[in-house]
Structure 1
Amino acid sequence: MTFGQPLLLLLLLAVPLVAAAAAWWTRRRPAPGVPFPDLDVVAAADPGPRRRRHLPAALALLALAGFTFALARPELPRDEPRERATIMLAIDVSGSMAAADVEPFRLRAAQDAAKRFAEEVPRRYQVGLVSFSGQADTLVAPTTDRGALLRAIDGLVPDGATAVGEAIASSLEAIRSTQPAADADGRLEAARIVVLSDGATTVGLPPQLAAEDARSAGVPVFTVSLGTPDGILANGTPVPPDDEGLQAIAEITGGQAYRSEDAESVSAVYEHLGSFIGTERVRSEVTGWAAGAAALLLVAAGVAAWRLAPRLS
């Protein structure tokens, strides 16, 4: 929780001072005497146990604290759907994506998850596709046309080397071509890149350099490392995923890194990304709730004072 006017919280220090002053005044004030009292009348006017007599004052003090809390304008963080966003999917189509350690094979699992992701993100968001192996190709520029995107995803075929850095660079170029910079530093607004790969970069631009460019543009890169450490190709070549390399990219850009070792976890990661990327963290002021709670406490203090007041009948 945060506050719009945090310095006003210092006023809460007055609450215990008020309580102490009230207690001092009660002890200082002499108790009224009644000559020749009628004990039956005194018993009828008895407000009850000592603790109950302090209830109205305690509720009033809580109400005072509540109103002071409301003056500080408390805020709670919450997730709201983004008004707009541009998302580039960069999918590895290198030869190692033919490994069958992820059923039915790595690329097919990635395709199925990417299609589900594309269908679940809000329709108003632009989503594009980059495929990469030895080089990166922008197959679909950022668009709201989900049909074109799904057809392009279906057409991916594994072959060649791995160029993660080129994929990030091509994704940034595609984003820049569809939206102007949000500020003078060239930072882009509400743009994200999702890279799914299974291997270390073997050719092209070093991923760290591409990641630095993405960070400068204000574009987080979310990475998904696909495959198991024991993954091999049909010819016996081992193809373990490069978890550390992809995690470094995410850390540089302010994104998040995920690992997926089976088709189910790939889909789960994409589902999480869809909800995470599709929302933004905002602060919502809850002053009204705090003031309302304080008002209820004040009403309760009045009711308690009326109910516990001495009565003669």
Structure 2
Amino acid sequence: MEFVNKEYFILLTLLIPYIIWYWRNRKHSEPTMRVSTVVAYYKAPKSWRQRIVHTPMFLRCLAFVMIVCVMARPQTRNSWDNKSVEGIDIMLAMDVSTSMLAEDLKPNRLEAAKNVAAEFVAGRPNDNIGLTIFAGESFTQCPMTTDHASLLNLLGSVRTDIAARGIISDGTAIGMGLANAVSRLKESKAKSKVVILLTDGSNNMGDISPMTSAEIAHSLGVRVYTIAVGTNKVAPYPVPVAGGIQYVNMPVEIDTKTLSEIAQITNANSYRATNNRELSQIYKDIDKLEKTKMDVKRFSKHYEAYQPFAIVALFLLVAEFLLRFTVLRRIP
């Protein structure tokens, strides 16, 4: 149940001054009689009429509440929704090479990328989203799924030192990472297929060139948004030394030209992020460009539901009237 004119409920505040007025003036309206002493009446039992003497006032207040509810127009609703969703299939291709440990973004490039990617995923509950990671080679961390809780869990488990520990070869195989992501979209039936490719370097590994992978993506109708992450010139890079960490200035060498060409071939956009704020804004821009399409059919019918309140109000007023002029009638 819902009320159409909720503003009428403010009238209920009028009950406060009325109750105060009632309790202040009730003694002055009662008949009195002068006697020498009232000690004999202290322990006298109260009659049932005395016990219900304030009932009319209570009924009057309840009736006022019911009348205000009627004025607020209570309604019930009978409705149904039929929502058909045309989701977008998205693959995130993320560079996890050792250079992603550079700390020009905070706490480092990869952690910053993971954080904004997690926000992006959380904001698209209707889409199939998967994750490919690459360094010198590439593999699928999570296939496309609508189980975003599992996806976010696998995204969070990507370690910043995955290549440094030898789990995969170090390097930057952009072509392999893109090819892996595109292969996951090959059988997709969605009208919109997207890859978001994030890297901080230039292609120096792998058997497939970035442009070859871009041509394959274009032939399959996949748009590839490319993100080059890293500051200009040099970035602080942590190097383990005896007893701690020493930072060295690592040259930033990003092949922005190739990334731009990949995006251009696939009818998408290329971006550059030099700090956390810019990286977050890039994902927001992509989110706006690739909105999920929804066709919602909705039927709704409202029914007036004031009758029960009106009946209760009438009953209370009649009961108050009968009590006041029968059993509680006063004869001055």
- Bin the TM-score by the shorter chain: 0.5 to 0.7
State the shift of 1:150 in Å: 0.8
In terms of fraction of residues, the more helix-rich structure is 1
Aligned to 2:307: none
Write the letter of the residue equivalent to 1:237: M
SS in 2 for 1:258: strand
Listed as ranges, the matches of 1:277-292 within 5 Å are 277-279=290-292
CA distance in 2, matches of 1:203, 1:241: 14
SS in 2 for 1:237: strand
In terms of fraction of residues, the more strand-rich structure is 2
CA distance in 2, matches of 1:101, 1:82: 40
Q: Which runs of 5+ in 2 are unaligned?
A: 1-83, 164-169, 239-247, 294-332
Write the letter of the residue equivalent to 2:270: A
Write the letter of the residue equivalent to 1:148: S
Listed as ranges, the matches of 1:22-41 within 5 Å are none
Matched, 1:97 2:100: yes
Write the letter of the residue equivalent to 1:169: A
Write the letter of the residue equivalent to 1:167: G
Matched, 1:144 2:146: yes
Aligned to 1:196: 198
Listed as ranges, the matches of 1:198-213 within 5 Å are 198-204=200-206, 205-213=208-216
CA distance in 1, matches of 2:192, 2:126: 13
CA distance in 2, matches of 1:246, 1:260: 13
TM-score, structure 2 as length reference: 0.55
Listed as ranges, the matches of 1:23-62 within 5 Å are none
CA distance in 2, matches of 1:95, 1:231: 15
2:156 to 154, 157, 161: 154
State the shift of 1:216 in Å: 0.6
Give CA-to-partner distance per residue, 1:220-266, whole Å, 9 cap, x none. 10011101122332344323333222111101111101111111111
Write the letter of the residue equivalent to 1:88: M
Matched, 1:247 2:260: yes
CA contact (8 A) 1:99 1:231 kept: no
SS in 1 for 2:251: coil
Matched, 1:134 2:136: yes
1:165 to 175, 182, 195: 175
CA distance in 1, matches of 2:220, 2:197: 17
Matched, 1:276 2:276: no
State the shift of 1:157 in Å: 2.4
State the shift of 1:155 in Å: 1.6
CA contact (8 A) 1:82 1:278 kept: no
Matched, 1:238 2:247: no
CA distance in 2, matches of 1:270, 1:247: 17
**CA 1:231/1:118 → structure 2, altered by over 3 Å: closer, same or farther?**
farther
SS in 2 for 1:174: helix
Aligned to 1:174: 184
Matched, 1:224 2:227: yes
SS in 1 for 2:221: coil
% same residue: 32
State the shift of 1:279 in Å: 4.7
SS in 2 for 1:134: coil
CA contact (8 A) 2:129 2:146 kept: yes
Aligned to 1:262: 275
Aligned length: 193
CA contact (8 A) 1:228 1:241 kept: no
CA contact (8 A) 1:221 1:249 kept: yes
Write the letter of the residue equivalent to 1:263: N
State the shift of 1:129 in Å: 0.3
CA contact (8 A) 1:195 1:223 kept: yes
CA contact (8 A) 1:229 1:241 kept: no
Larger radius of gyration: 2
State the shift of 1:276 in Å: 1.2
Q: Which runs of 5+ in 1 are unaligned?
A: 1-80, 181-187, 281-313
